[in-house]
Chain A
Amino acid sequence: MAEKSPAARSTGRPPSAVEFRGVVKRYGDVEAVSGLDLRVEQGQFLTLLGPSGCGKTTTLRLIGGFERPDEGSVEIDGEDMTRTAPFKRPVTTVFQQYALFPHMSVRKNIAYGLKHAKAARSEIDRRVGEIMDLMEIRDMGDRRPAQLSGGQQQRVALARALVMQPKVLLLDEPLGSLDYKLRKSMQFELKRIHGEVGATFIYVTHDQEEAMTMSDRIVILNRGRIEQDAEPREIYDLPKSPFVADFIGDTNLLGGVVSGRDGEFVTVELGILGRVRGTSDSPLSQGDRAQVSIRPTDVRVTPGAPGGAVVTDAVLAGSHVTMKIAGDGEEITAHVPRGGAFAPGDHVRLEADSERARVFEVLD
């Protein structure tokens, strides 16, 4: 982490687009970002994910230059830009509410940055035309932002940021105010555009599904610190903490006692689910208290005898049935295929799809 980026290049690591070293940002007494070390490789689609107040937007604003860190340094494209003004950074932003200039036409909005960079007239026209084609908003050049739908404004905001050919594009929950279907299609659209322009995308969202769909890499933030930094699949399958397990997808977090350990595999005795085997990064040994995360899709439900677990609720959720099952003072959520569902009141037996569970230390 202490390497300078020229050294990084010579060691064969891809050059960094953004690098944070020990960045701290405080608002009064509150630390929004606490000692953040983060390296974003060029061309990556990285998502900063976390609940509101986790520091993800502050992190984005530190890259954009709208906030200055209280400690640490921010490097962009190999240059220290900790104190560089926003308008001198090779970074552009798609703002949460789009921030389109209401008094300018779509075309003028998009050409705005180029015009002030004193680009030649023909150059401006060519690049604005190209980006409008890419964003499929070619016919809207003369309209004002107020005459566009949310999805169209979104595209204009993207075009305006991308036409500057930034090294890094920052996206601050850009799909937040679109309806579900449009959001879905824009997610794939953004992936496509990322592939075509080749810039580094840093995306902020609190929507884990959006993060899973689009990113090469997800950084999960909680209270200004990184909880986990990994590829989407790893984040989902091998969460590093109960927080991550709970935040990404649905999960059951259950308390139990460790009964054995075999390398990375730990066996835990859970009341309702019996003996469960799962992987763990923590130094747990026999007799320790542990917390286990089991995805609802990894819970197997079979008919059981009276006295065991009882189905308390079963709701059709489209492709599967979400069942709530109570027993032993705990409640478990299971997703089962529509054919294999039970009705409330049925007695069932529960089993965990072993090896897929994650076991964590209980910290207190």
Chain B
Amino acid sequence: MATGPAITVDVDGRTEKPGGRPAVRGGLALGLPVLAWMGFFFAVPYFMLFLQSFWTPTAFGVDHTWTIDNYKEVFGASSLVGDIYIPTLLRSIKVGALVTLFSTLLAFPVAYMLAFKVRRTRNRMLLYTLVVVPLWASYLLRAYAWKVILGQHGLFSSVLDTLGLSGTFLSDLLYSEAAVVIAMTHIFTPFMILSIYAVLERLPHNLIEASKDLGVSSFATFRKIVLPLSLPGVVAGATFTMGLSSGDFVAPMLVGGESDVMIANQIYSQFGATNNWPLGSAIAFVLLAFVAVLVWISTAAEKREQI
């Protein structure tokens, strides 16, 4: 050690080599396994999918001739099926937006209660656990549970029968877009709660006291202080929910009707029954572009908040 270069330790206790940038090289080494993993299982498949979307589908597989016909077809220029993909994409976005809206509305009060109203640690832990427990069950299982509730001869329809309400507008809930929205709202609400709670938990309580101290009522304090400061959590949760629910294919498959297929179901069938991988890839990339724009907007919104 005595003969090596002098190492100075600054006040934060980080070691610094004279003239060099600290930590960066070490950080790269630490990150390498993850980078390799992500590169191999994430970036490479995406790149292959991207290439595939410009190849030509044949009856039995794929011909490596470059074409943009797949994208043309996505945007409705195909004589065979006509304009079906973009309307489906738009409907998927609408379903995603509804799921995001409802889960935000449901999650906020719970997160608020958890952060501010439940004083005793034991009760807070209990409530927190109740929020998290559903996440321990597989997503598929929870979607199936909704099939049991909303499906034919399910809980919901037998309640309707008992009440003599079957055949009314309420029966339309079964195998409908509404059912898809309900199931996915249930699935994504816990994520929303956790994401909002994470922000509210760190919100200094004295900001709320300061607002009331200045003569502002509880409700106005909520609107002017709590709500704006919790936006980063709402935006993060909403981005997550919007991205995942617009691209979901399980819930529409299990509780949706035939006309409720979403864009991910279309992709699924291109890779499955229809066996048109290039078209599936093209649809996937259009969906990916939408999600990328969404993430970009939310990141920009968050940056604006932080100034």
Contacts and interface: CB of A to CB of B under 8 A. Distances in A.
Interface of A: 64-66, 85-88, 91-93, 95-97, 99-103, 112-113, 116-117, 144, 160-161, 164
B212 interface: yes
A87 B212 contact: yes
A91 B213 contact: yes
B194 to A, nearest CB: 22
Contacts of B225: 101
A85 B209 CA distance: 11
Given A86-B209, A97-B206, A102 B214 contact: no
Contacts of A64: 209, 213
Contact of B207 (A65, A85, A99): A99
Contacts of B215: 87-88, 113, 116-117, 164
A160 B214 contact: yes
Interface string B189-232: 00000000000000010110111111111101000110011000
Contacts of A86: 209, 212-213
A102 B231 CA distance: 13
A66 B209 CA distance: 7
B161 interface: no
Given A65-B212, A93-B209, A102-B207, 17 more contacts: A87-B215, A93-B213, A96-B206, A97-B204, A97-B206, A99-B204, A101-B225, A103-B305, A112-B224, A113-B216, A116-B214, A116-B215, A116-B217, A117-B215, A160-B210, A160-B214, A164-B215
Contacts of B206: 95-97, 99
A200 B51 CA distance: 75
A240 B228 CA distance: 51
B307 interface: yes
B210 A99 contact: yes
Nearest to B209: A66
Contacts of A100: 210
Q: How large is the interface on B (under 10, 10 to 19, 20 to 34, 35 or more residues)?
A: 20 to 34
A95 B217 contact: no
Contacts of A103: 228-229, 305
A101 B207 contact: yes
Contact of A92 (B213, B218, B220, B305): B213
Interface of B: 204, 206-207, 209-218, 220, 224-225, 228-229, 305, 307
A144 B206 CA distance: 18
A7 to B, nearest CB: 30
Given A87-B217, A97-B204, A144 B307 contact: yes
A96 B119 CA distance: 22
B229 A93 contact: no
A127 to B, nearest CB: 13
A118 to B, nearest CB: 10
Contacts of A101: 207, 210-211, 225
Nearest to B225: A101
A103 B305 CA distance: 7
A309 B206 CA distance: 54
Contacts of A93: 209-210, 213
A64 B206 CA distance: 12
A85 B204 contact: no
B141 to A, nearest CB: 41
A109 B218 CA distance: 17
Contacts of A117: 215
A92 B213 CA distance: 6
28 contacts: A64-B209, A65-B212, A85-B212, A86-B212, A87-B215, A87-B216, A87-B217, A91-B213, A92-B213, A93-B209, A95-B206, A95-B209, A96-B206, A97-B204, A97-B206, A99-B206, A102-B207, A102-B229, A103-B228, A112-B214, A112-B216, A113-B216, A116-B215, A116-B217, A116-B224, A117-B215, A160-B210, A161-B214
Contacts of B229: 102-103
Contacts of A95: 206, 209-210
* Closest 8 pairs (CB-CB, A-B): A113-B214, A99-B210, A99-B206, A86-B212, A87-B212, A116-B216, A93-B213, A95-B206
Contact of A164 (B207, B211, B214, B228): B214
B222 to A, nearest CB: 13
A66 B305 CA distance: 29
B209 A92 contact: no
Nearest to A97: B206
